[in-house]
Amino acid sequence: MTITEFKTACSAIEQEYKAKIAAAADLAAVEELRVAALGRKGALTDLLKGLKDFSMEDKKVAGPLGNALKGALSAALEEKTAFFAAKQINDELNKTCLDLTLPAFPAPQGHRHPLSVAMDRMTTILAHLGFEWAEGPWVEDEKHNFDMLNIPKHHPARDAQDTFFADTGSPISMVLRTHTSNVQSRFMEKHRPPLRIMAPGRVFRNDSLDATHSPVFHQIEGLYVDKNVSMADLKQDLTAFMKGLFGNKAEIRFRPSFFPFTEPSAEVDVKCVFCQGKGCPVCKGSGWIEMLGSGVVHPNVLKNCGIDPNEYSGYAFGMGVERLAMMMMNINDIRTFYENDVRVLSQF
């Protein structure tokens, strides 16, 4: 073979294999071409075997030429292999219908229940007014739920129509607490005045569920006992509380009422926040909305808890959280809070 023939052969191999590599259909075909061109019995290997018969002069030309061709074919094979590897990954992704270029779906975000929001707002205001958080049991004995709070044995509140009696197997008659006032009796039993507590929590009444009643609802109770506590303190603190809740224009008024555990007792109305007292459907034209029950703690209650009513006095108030939340959020059916329909709840 002459050097000219060698050069021609090199060009032929380069042309043939570059075309074949470009046309290769898959990884196996590329591998076959690698063997056919560069393998032990491959076309280029075969051609380079002829180098040994060349003169020193020709070897200096043919050697680098052969090496360059080998490099070019290797590079073309590498490129094609990388192409098929990437294609394989793409095909896999397409099979699972995964389009990585699509924007992500927004993850649904949870949020707080409107009752928790309302409860938090109320307890935060009370905490600012110096009330300390206190809790008590849901299943309560009659002593703490009724007796100590001056609710006598024959009182209608103790009737099965109002109260759930719990069969605990214990000889002591147990009830599901009908108000958070059981926290009052339990707290005063263990602590000496001055004391200033709020008792937020769940209470139970034997009511059927309708738009304004529920057998389970929430109350927040406030209790302040110290020397010389009077209705004036109650009015001042409740006014501050309502201003915190409904803004600086909030006004309250007391209406005489009766509760066994307070004397004197008063229902507290707040000037309608919707019509500023002019009269609207929410306040049924009266300009005032009934908010809570309150009064000066009955001396018997203090006595029952081991506090001397001649030395100390106190006030107490209790309100329904649902009732306030319904007003704050303009909800007209109490069942909205318990049905937990996400479409409804997510509006608040």
Interface residue list for Zn ion (CB under 5 A) = 272, 274-275, 280, 282-283
Distance from C-alpha of 198 to C-alpha of 122, rounded to nearest angstrom = 10
The distance of closest approach from Cβ of residue 294 to Zn ion in the complex, given in angstroms and rounded to an integer, is 22
**Of 139 and 328, CB closest to Zn ion:** 328
CA angle 157/237/115 to nearest 5° reads 60
The distance of closest approach from Cβ of residue 219 to Zn ion in the complex, given in angstroms and rounded to an integer, is 24
* CA 74 vs CA 23, 79, 161: distances in Å: 16, 9, 93
Supply 278's token pair.
Answer: 């002019």
The distance of closest approach from Cβ of residue 119 to Zn ion in the complex, given in angstroms and rounded to an integer, is 24
Q: At 222, give phi and psi (nearest 5°).
A: -120, 145
Distance from C-alpha of 344 to C-alpha of 315, rounded to nearest angstrom = 38
The distance of closest approach from Cβ of residue 280 to Zn ion in the complex, given in angstroms and rounded to an integer, is 3
- Cβ(240)–Cβ(129) under 8 Å? yes
Distance from C-alpha of 122 to C-alpha of 218, rounded to nearest angstrom = 12
**Of 3 and 275, CB closest to Zn ion:** 275
Distance from C-alpha of 31 to C-alpha of 74, rounded to nearest angstrom = 11
The distance of closest approach from Cβ of residue 283 to Zn ion in the complex, given in angstroms and rounded to an integer, is 3
**Of 106 and 281, CB closest to Zn ion:** 281
* Position of minimal CB gap to Zn ion: 272
**Of 29 and 282, CB closest to Zn ion:** 282
Distance from C-alpha of 173 to C-alpha of 186, rounded to nearest angstrom = 17
The distance of closest approach from Cβ of residue 319 to Zn ion in the complex, given in angstroms and rounded to an integer, is 19
**Of 188 and 283, CB closest to Zn ion:** 283
The distance of closest approach from Cβ of residue 271 to Zn ion in the complex, given in angstroms and rounded to an integer, is 8
**Of 157 and 280, CB closest to Zn ion:** 280
Q: Which long-range contacts (CB under 8 A, 24 or more apart) does 124-130 make?
A: 125/240, 125/241, 125/244, 125/245, 126/198, 126/220, 126/222, 126/241, 127/198, 128/244, 129/237, 129/240, 129/241, 130/196
**Of 161 and 286, CB closest to Zn ion:** 286
- In the chain, % helix, strand, coil (3-state, to 5) comes to 45, 20, 35
- Cβ(163)–Cβ(178) under 8 Å? yes
